């Protein structure tokens, strides 16, 4: 038995210890892995950093967020490992003991810390931290230089390869800090004054009386846009709008003549073209706040040329050194070194290509007004060369949807834990396209507001009155303000929003039930399909509630989130009544008994009772006042557009700028359209 025990003990001792094996493996590969991870993060960011400019995708947004936060940490962590390991083994380069770490790995990490051109800041707050980044720059350059000097004693013949990469890394990291500083609030505001002076010079000779009578053709001639090729004119118009946007974003005011000029341009556009102009304009602003593109396009291109040449020369020198076979590098180090150098050069080339096919480059190209350059632009425009880099779909044109009642009723059935829930993004039930009909509907509504403003001599008081409309104007035109004014004049806008949201939902399901009944009697199944006004009302209603939940800073301040939670509790309490109503099985939802139960509910502070009361009043317009159902939904859709415009104009520009990092929101596009039509309190009105 003792022999058996001894044999078992011997067998046990022969088994290799896994932790020690893993430790040796990690010690040999930890630096290699983090170096490759740093390179991968840079490649991911430069590609996906520009994708988020025009898409609101959940996965893209969160992956970019994770990569952005990880990239600097991984590069810094790698520098720390390098500082510890490089030079520890002071083997002579002629020695057969291979495994030395190339000295240029440290400055390559400085290049990575400089970040890709397509994303310098993830959010507006990152720009305000430029001074912290500057301090980090100094410390990381010191660490990289320390690692470089330690490798000096190894007598590595390829040590000189690190010198041009050092230059490239310092330039790129310094460039990043310069861009962050330029986009910070203080520096941005200072830079905008030159933009204001340029606009004043451009419109200084435009008296308001002349602009009121000026046609679009005359204005284009005055602004010297007539000699721009037609295919590129929208870029120059969008840039003019962008110059105005930059000033408004700094919370400064503009002369009325500038608003009048942009109004003349917009009123000649279709709704689709007007929205496209705003999309290009918001793309320009995104580049200013979150990328390097707007800065590197100017005279600083010389720095980009130095960076590129430095990386290419390092690659050539390293390749030449490898051919002489007098180095102390292992095969793994050689392979990773090539990957790092080639990867850095590919990133630089991709950055240049992105810049060459950007709106900034096309704006400059066509602004030269030369036949050759116009031909180049027309070739790109007509053949869509490298369309994956020059994306015409500058905005995804989608809006998220959240229906309070349906979401709350299905909430108990959803037991699966998802990543969206963990990140607090589970409120999006679906995404709807912002189609041509809705854009036309919104744009026409804004033009009507602008026309009324002009008819009242453009006085500041009337402008404030127009911007304060949140459904009461539409209801007043229909002469039913006495019955419905309570629903839109609540002191808290969010209360009105939830009330109309529930009423819209109830009216929709009640009308569907009636249409189904009529379809059965008439044998016409087409009656149950919602018309355009119903579709727009439902989609805008669900979109506004989504904003209330996920982006309340885009709405006027209030207790909307608390009222939403109270309403959800009331929905749970009344689940037995709501179920048949939503499913269209209960035709007596507005009976005295049902309304009395909701009225006497202990959760009367919720918006559910008010929503049912409003729905009953809206349905009574058809059953008692003789309205057609179509007329009712036309009024409701107008109310929702008016609520949208009210919300858009009562939110700060910096809040709207935050939406640019996820493709932009419809409410932000509406806000810009209103500003360009003169429907903004940042317009210096003087009257006619």
Q: Which of 282, 260, 181 is nearest to 670 (CA)?
A: 282
**Inter-residue contact 458 to 685 (CB < 8 Å):** yes
Task: Say how far residue 626 (Cα) sits from the centre of its chain.
Answer: 46
- What is the β-pairing status of strands 683-684 and 430-433? unpaired
532 CB-side CA count, 13 A: 10
- Residue by residue, DSSP assigns 140-161 as HHHHHHHHHHHHHTTT-TTGGG
pLDDT of residue 97: 39
- CA gap 127, 177 in Å, rounded: 9
- CA gap 235, 378 in Å, rounded: 13
If you ran DSSP here, which 8-state letter would residue 553 be given?
A: G
pLDDT of residue 40: 95
pLDDT of residue 6: 53
Helix (H, G, I), strand (E, B) or coil at 433: strand
pLDDT of residue 94: 41
pLDDT of residue 642: 96
pLDDT of residue 358: 87
The pTM of the full predicted model, rounded to 2 decimals, is 0.88
User: How far does the chain reach from its first CA to its final CA, in angstroms?
Assistant: 112
3-state helix, strand, coil in the chain (%, to 5): 70, 0, 25
Q: pLDDT for 644-661, tens place per residue? A: 999 999 888 888 888 888
- CA gap 53, 396 in Å, rounded: 9
pLDDT of residue 489: 84
Element (H, E) at 566: helix 560-573
Burial letters for 80-119: b for 16+ Cβ neighbours within 10 Å, e otherwise? ebbbebbbeeebebeeeeeebbbbbbbbbbbbbbbbbbbb
- Which parts of the chain sit beneath pLDDT 70? 1-28, 56, 86-99, 152-157, 204, 208-209, 298-300, 325-328, 384-393, 412-426, 457, 517-530, 586, 590, 592, 598-605, 684-688
Strand partners, 254: 683
**Inter-residue contact 231 to 179 (CB < 8 Å):** no
- CA gap 661, 333 in Å, rounded: 38
- CA gap 85, 396 in Å, rounded: 48
Distances (CA, A) of 560 to 287, 555, 607: 33, 9, 10
Q: Which of 65, 74, 300, 75 is nearest to 178 (CA)?
A: 300
Distances (CA, A) of 62 to 16, 59, 101, 122, 187: 41, 5, 34, 11, 29
pLDDT of residue 156: 65
pLDDT of residue 569: 85
Q: Which of 685, 681, 672, 687 is nearest to 243 (CA)?
A: 672
- Residue by residue, DSSP assigns 474-528 as HHHHTT-HHHHHHHH--SSHHHHHHHHHHHHHHHHHHHHHHHHHHHHHHT-GGGG
Q: What's the full length of the chain, in residues?
A: 688
Sequence-separated (6 or more) residues with CB below 8 Å from residue 687: 457, 458, 459
């Amino acid at each position: 038995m003792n022999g058996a025990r001894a044999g078992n003990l011997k067998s046990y001792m022969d088994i290799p210890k896994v932790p020690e094996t893993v430790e040796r493996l990690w010690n040999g590969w930890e630096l290699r892995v983090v170096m490759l991870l740093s390179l991968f993060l840079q490649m991911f960011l430069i590609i996906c950093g520009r994708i988020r400019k025009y898409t609101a995708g959940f996965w893209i947004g969160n992956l970019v967020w994770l990569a952005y936060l990880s990239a600097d940490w991984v590069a810094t962590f790698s520098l720390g490992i390098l500082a510890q390991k490089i030079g520890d083994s002071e083997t002579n380069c002629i020695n057969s003991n291979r495994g030395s770490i190339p000295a240029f790995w440290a400055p390559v990490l400085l290049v990575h810390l400089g970040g890709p051109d397509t994303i310098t800041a993830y959010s507006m707050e990152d720009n305000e931290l430029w001074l912290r980044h500057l301090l980090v720059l100094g410390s990381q350059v010191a660490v990289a230089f320390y690692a470089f000097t330690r490798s000096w004693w190894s007598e590595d013949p390829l040590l000189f390869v690190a010198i041009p990469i050092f230059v490239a890394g310092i330039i790129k990291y310094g460039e990043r800090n310069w861009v962050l500083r330029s986009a910070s609030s203080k520096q941005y505001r200072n830079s905008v004054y030159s933009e204001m002076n340029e606009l004043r010079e451009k419109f200084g000779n435009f008296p308001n009386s002349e602009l009121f009578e000026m046609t679009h053709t005359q204005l284009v001639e005055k602004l010297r846009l007539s000699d721009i090729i037609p295919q590129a004119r929208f870029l120059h118009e969008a840039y003019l709008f962008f110059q105005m946007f930059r000033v408004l974003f700094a919370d400064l005011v503009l002369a009325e003549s500038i608003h009048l000029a942009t109004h003349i341009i917009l009123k000649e556009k279709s709704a689709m073209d007007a929205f496209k102009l705003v999309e290009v304009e918001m793309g320009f602003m995104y580049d200013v706040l979150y990328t390097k593109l707007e800065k590197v396009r100017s005279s600083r291109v010389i720095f980009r040329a130095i960076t590129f040449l430095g990386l290419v020369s390092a690659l050539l020198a390293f390749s030449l050194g490898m051919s002489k076979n007098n180095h102390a590098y292992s095969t793994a180090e050689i392979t990773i070194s090539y990957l790092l150098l080639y990867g850095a050069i590919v990133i630089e080339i991709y950055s240049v290509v992105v810049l060459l096919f950007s709106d900034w480059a096309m704006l400059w190209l066509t602004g030269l007004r030369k036949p050759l350059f116009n031909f180049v632009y027309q070739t790109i425009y007509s053949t869509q060369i490298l369309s994956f880099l020059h994306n015409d779909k500058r905005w995804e044109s989608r809006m998220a949807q959240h229906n309070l009642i349906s979401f709350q009723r299905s909430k108990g059935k959803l037991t699966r834990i998802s990543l969206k829930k963990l990140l607090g993004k589970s409120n999006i039930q679906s995404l709807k396209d912002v189609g041509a009909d809705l854009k036309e509907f919104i744009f026409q509504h804004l033009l009507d507001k602008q026309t009324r403003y002009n008819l009242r001599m453009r006085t500041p008081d009337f402008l404030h009155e127009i911007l304060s409309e949140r459904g009461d104007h539409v209801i007043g035109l229909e002469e039913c303000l006495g019955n419905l004014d309570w629903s839109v004049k609540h002191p808290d806008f969010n209360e009105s929003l939830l009330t109309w949201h529930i009423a819209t939902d109830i009216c929709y399901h009640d009308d569907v039930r009636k249409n189904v009944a009529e379809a059965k009697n008439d044998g016409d199944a087409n009656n149950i399909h919602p018309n355009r006004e119903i579709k727009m009302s439902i989609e805008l209603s669900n979109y506004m509630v989504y904003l209330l939940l996920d982006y309340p800073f885009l709405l006027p301040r209030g207790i909307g989130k608390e009222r939403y939670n109270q309403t959800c509790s009331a929905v749970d309490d009344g689940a037995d009544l709501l179920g048949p109503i939503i499913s269209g099985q209960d035709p007596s939802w507005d009976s005295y008994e049902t309304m009395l139960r909701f009225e006497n509910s202990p959760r009367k502070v919720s918006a559910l009772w008010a929503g049912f009361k409003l729905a009953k009043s809206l349905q009574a317009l058809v059953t008692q006042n003789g309205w057609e159902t179509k007329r009712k939904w036309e009024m409701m859709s107008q109310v929702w557009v008016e609520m949208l415009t009210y919300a858009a104009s009562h939110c700060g520009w910096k809040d709207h700028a935050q939406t640019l990092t996820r493709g932009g929101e419809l409410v932000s596009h509406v806000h810009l359209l209103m500003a360009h039509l003169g429907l903004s309190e940042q317009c210096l009105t003087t009257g006619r």
